[in-house]
Amino acid sequence: MAHAETHDPNTPLEYRSEVGRLNILGFWIFLGAEVALFATLFATYMVLTHRIADGPALGELFEVKSLLIQTFLLLTSSFTCGLAVHEMRRHNVKGLMLWMIITLGLGLGFLYFEIQEFLHFIHEGANIGTSAAWSGFFVLVGTHGAHVTFGIFWVTMVLIQVAKRGLTPATSAKVFITSLYWHFLDVVWIFIFTAVYLMGMVMHHG
């Protein structure tokens, strides 16, 4: 570990320490496990999607407006997160901070609209105990939402560390890993958008 190493000047900061390189690789593998986790949840949702018992159908309650706002906020946050890492690579701490804080703001906005939507569904008589289909919906979408919540806390903690210590191989690896996590949540959302919302609405409204 941590031998004196010589670097190509083009090596990004986060790849300059062995610990950083190992952590980034390990995190990619962790994301592989997350893919398995979400794939299981998607499969569960898919087999339960028509099992609505006496409750409302899924597509019946989905609203395009809320869905588009959520999608817009989250996809944009992935873009700003990319800009943050871009600034980090230019060793611009201020730029990194600014774009990451915007990312967090967009993430919070996404959560706000998601929670509003959940409350709306519950108000309309669809909660986790209404039917198997709604159980599948709340747990799949809720797991994603919980990941976003966790991500917001995590990024905040890492930003505090960047503020305290500046950009080092250690802090930049942490920023980079949280950015991978954030983009991953975006990818999962695209699947939720398609498999849950679009398919739900298409099947309900034809």
128: nearest Cα among 48, 39, 36, 34: 48
H-only helix segments in 56-131: 58-61, 64-89, 93-123
Residues 6+ away with beta carbon under 8 Å from 195: 42, 45, 46
Closest CB to another protein among 113 and 137? 137
Q: Report the nearest approach of another protein to the CB of residue 13 (Å).
A: 16
Closest CB to another protein among 48 and 88? 48
Q: Report the nearest approach of another protein to the CB of residue 4 (Å).
A: 11
Ramachandran angles phi, psi of 12, nearest 5°: -60, 155
2: nearest Cα among 12, 17, 20, 24: 17
Q: Cα dihedral angle (50, 52, 57, 59), rounded to 10 degrees?
A: -40
Residue 150 DSSP SS3: helix
Give the sign of the dihedral formed by CA 75, CA 76, CA 77, CA 83. positive
Q: Report the nearest approach of another protein to the CB of residue 75 (Å).
A: 25
Closest CB to another protein among 73 and 159? 159
Closest CB to another protein among 41 and 100? 41
Closest CB to another protein among 75 and 170? 170
Q: Report the nearest approach of another protein to the CB of residue 72 (Å).
A: 29
Residues found near another protein in the complex (CB under 8 A): 1-3, 21-23, 25-26, 29-30, 32-34, 36-37, 40-41, 44, 47-48, 51-53, 128-133, 135-136, 138-139, 157-158, 161, 165, 170, 174
Q: Report the nearest approach of another protein to the CB of residue 153 (Å).
A: 8
Task: For residues 206 and 202, give the distance between their C-alpha atoms in angstroms, rounded to a whole number.
Answer: 5
Closest CB to another protein among 111 and 158? 158
Q: Report the nearest approach of another protein to the CB of residue 163 (Å).
A: 12
